[in-house]
Amino acid sequence: MKKYIIIGAIAGIGFGSLSFSDIGFFEVKKNLEIFASLYKELNTYYVDELDAKNLIEAGTENMLNQLDPYTNFIPEEDMDDYRIQTTGKYAGIGAIIGTKADWVQITEPYEGFPADKAGLRAGDKIISIAGKSVKGLRTDEVSKMLKGRPGTEILVVYKRLTADGTEAEHTAKIIREEIKIKNVPYYGMLNDDIGYIRLGNFTVSAGQEVRSALAALEAQQKLKGIVLDLRGNPGGLLDEAINVANVFVDKNTEIVSVRGREVTATYSRKTINEAGDTKIPMAVIADGNSASASEIVAGSLQDLDRAVVIGERTFGKGLVQTTRPLPYNTKLKITTAKYYIPSGRCIQAINYAERDSTGKVTRLPDSLRTAFKTKSGRTVYDGAGIEPDIKTESEVMQNITISLFTKSLFFDYATEYRAKHDKIAPAKTFALTDDEYIDFTKWVAAKEYEYSTRSEKLLEELKTVSEKENYFTGIKGSYEDMKQKMMHDKQKDLIKQKSQIISFLQEEIASRYYLNTGRSVMQCRTDEDLKRAVTVLNDANQLQTILGKSK
């Protein structure tokens, strides 16, 4: 009976005062009534018992799939995760966890939070929580057990690898705290006079964190330039995008305008605070995973000729979402508008309202992109993310490196290394010796990890195509000869790709002693985009020319 009441309520929502002369509203009412009647008939006469929740959720999901991927229904059970995404806050021990075989292990404790204070390390295997074994549990199940009210105590039993290769059991009493995931996980100096700020998210206080990081760097010494790193930043709160831009541009500067179907969804937003520093030479680094709020910051600073953008074309998300309350503590996150940055361009790359004959959405072709002008008259384009002023290419990940990473062999070796070495040099200078790298190659030789080189894959593609076209018989001898010569040797590949492999290895090891700060320092040491940014910021003439300000 309750199932019918729910469906009937859905069908009747909001139509008491509607005029049915409006064909649009009539179609909505008609189809909701059909939907309710259809479910009622299924529930009454279908041969098997129906699961109302699953069926309705499937219908809801399919309806939303016809729209853009950012319009989502948030059920009550997912509200905690949603709040974490928007605020960056939760209460727990402050650690990232992952699975290995039947156990969950610590993969990264957050610096300065309860897990770190209690002495837990990456690689520690969680055995029980509050006296209950966690063997075989999923990470989300263990995560729920670790979370709780701030100030409450939790007993965690874990095993840690020792120097002789055995495991020792330990017990930690951990006091849960409110965990605020930092928007700025790291800032520091790239050299004597170029500062660096990495912005990972746009949750509450992102702008203030960037402002504080800049102030801290400028308090250390006189800066010749600042690099804001937005790579991999998926975006977040619109207000925080404006607050971040406000750190580098004057008060009352328009950063974004928003245009939607409803009048309330159309407005413009200006900076409201005094800037942190409007003069310091600036570079923004972005990539294909920089989206939404990241693109507002990168794009507005580019349009205002405030910063040179370095890296790759950004994701191309120019849509704004708001949340609407629904019954039973649920919400709808819905796309309500598009945003436009100071030059007037919208960087949205896909029009989800238009689909091809197969139902797939397509990206806007370059030929249809419209030109706009920055403040100094430089030409920029809409419809495909933010094009960098200086284009770079990401380092090509070798297949052996990918295999070592996906098999967690960098992680496992770092765990063993930490068990055998009480300390290492500071992250700024730490480096594995040649002998230590040889030890790693011997260690990994006994591990299972398979991969194919790009050449091997291309050769197999040639075989497949030539077989289909009946050419393979004639080239079979050459194919076998090439295959034999091309066959990779893992040990040789470990030496051939040493430079790339050792950078990942050193980064993982440094994080065991200095946590995320150590990892970030190691990354900055080898990052080619950062090196390019430093070069540009050290050349005032080149910077001014790129920004269209040279005389």
Q: What are the residue numbers of the active site?
A: 292, 303, 317
Q: How far apart are the first and last CA of the chain?
A: 78
> Is residue 250 classed as helix, strand or coil in its secondary structure?
coil
**Which residue, among 234, 242, 229, has the nearest Cα to 286 in the 3D structure?**
229
Q: Are 260 and 266 in contact (CB under 8 A)?
A: yes
DSSP per position, 107-140 = EEEPTTSHHHHTT--TTPEEEEETTEE-TT--HH
Q: Are 344 and 350 in contact (CB under 8 A)?
A: no
DSSP 281: -
**Which residue, among 264, 272, 318, 324, has the nearest Cα to 291 in the 3D structure?**
318
DSSP per position, 39-60 = HHHHHHH-SS---HHHHHHHHH
> Is residue 226 classed as helix, strand or coil in its secondary structure?
strand
Angle at 328 between CA 325 and CA 330, to 5 degrees: 45
Q: For residue 35, count other CB atoms closer than 10 A to its CB.
A: 16
**How far is residue 180's CA from residue 114's CA, in Å, rounded to a whole number?**
12
| Tokens encoding 228 | 């804001």
The kind and range of the H/E element at 143 are helix 139-146
The kind and range of the H/E element at 289 are none
Around 147, how many Cα atoms within 13 Å sit in the side-chain half-sphere?
A: 16
**Which residue, among 521, 494, 489, has the nearest Cα to 401 in the 3D structure?**
494
Q: Cα 82 from chain centroid? A: 15
Distances (CA, A) of 207 to 182, 190, 200, 334, 441: 11, 22, 12, 24, 44
Q: Cα 291 from chain centroid? A: 9
Q: Please list, in sequence order, all residues whose beta carbon lies within 8 angstroms of the beta carbon of residue 92, skipping any fewer than 6 positions away.
A: 114, 143, 146, 147, 148, 176, 177, 179
| Tokens encoding 192 | 């004597």
Write the burial class of residue 208 (CB in 10 Å: 0-12 exposed, 13-18 middle, 19+ buried). middle
List beta partners, residue 18: none
**Which residue, among 336, 353, 351, 323, has the nearest Cα to 73 in the 3D structure?**
323
> Is residue 312 classed as helix, strand or coil in its secondary structure?
coil
| Tokens encoding 57 | 């959720």
Angle at 546 between CA 545 and CA 551, to 5 degrees: 20
Task: Specify the length of the chain in residues.
Answer: 551
